[in-house]
Chain A
Amino acid sequence: GQNIDQPTEMTATEGAIVQINCTYQTSGFNGLFWYQQHAGEAPTFLSYNVLDGLEEKGRFSSFLSRSKGYSYLLLKELQMKDSASYLCAVRGLSGYSTLTFGKGTMLLVSP
């Protein structure tokens, strides 16, 4: 089975940097995804990590440490539109492309 933990809520100020952590315990690992979900909308893909290290994509970066079962999503130069839920999801080794999702972290960006 898989267990994924991330904080329920975070708050930050416009222009700041925020780090959203995700820890996982899995029977197998074949990649970790981060998604952004605005209220009432579908999740949209942000990043994918399968090897250790940092992946940077504009204002967003994602880090993975497989030995620690740990990932984080780093958001820089926060904007009001970044207020959303951020979902961490892990792919196992089942042979299917299924993902197990964390419960999501609600980020509120204030002026």
Chain B
Amino acid sequence: DVKVTQSSRYLVKRTGEKVFLECVQDMDHENMFWYRQDPGLGLRLIYFSYDVKMKEKGDIPEGYSVSREKKERFSLILESASTNQTSMYLCASSTDRDQETQYFGPGTRLLVL
């Protein structure tokens, strides 16, 4: 069974803290993605990776960085958390086959105080 896991379901951090969100997939997928989801704005792509050590900016990369040292793991880093980064963060993975969907993790709800 397809599985994408995220390190935390809920996280509370203070402004200025460095925050790590971890995502692991067990499907040997090439592609991994980080989104944030906000009411009225929908899902927006932050960063994605199509191979180990490769990363590409999505639509809203400012304030974020990513790391993919192993194929199964994709980390999202908030270098200095700000209150406007309070959001639901969703990780997803997929293969390169056109008809293949993205599989999503359960999400991390981050609150920055």
Contact = CB atoms under 8 A, between A and B. Distances in A.
Given A31-B99, A44-B104, A87-B42, A97 B90 contact: no
Interface in A17-57: 30-31, 33, 35, 40-45, 48, 50
B106 A42 contact: yes
B49 to A, nearest CB: 10
Contact of A48 (B33, B58, B101): B101
Given A42-B104, A96-B31, A101 B42 contact: yes
Contacts of B40: 103
B62 interface: no
Contacts of A103: 40-42
Interface residues of B, number: 28
B41 A43 contact: no
A103 B41 CA distance: 6
How many A residues touch the partner, as a band?
Answer: 20 to 34
B11 interface: no
Nearest to A91: B98
Contacts of A30: 98
Contacts of B106: 41-42
Contact of B42 (A91, A97, A102): A102
Contacts of B98: 30-31, 50, 91
A75 interface: no
Interface of B: 4, 31, 33, 35, 40-45, 48, 50, 56, 58, 90, 94-96, 98-107
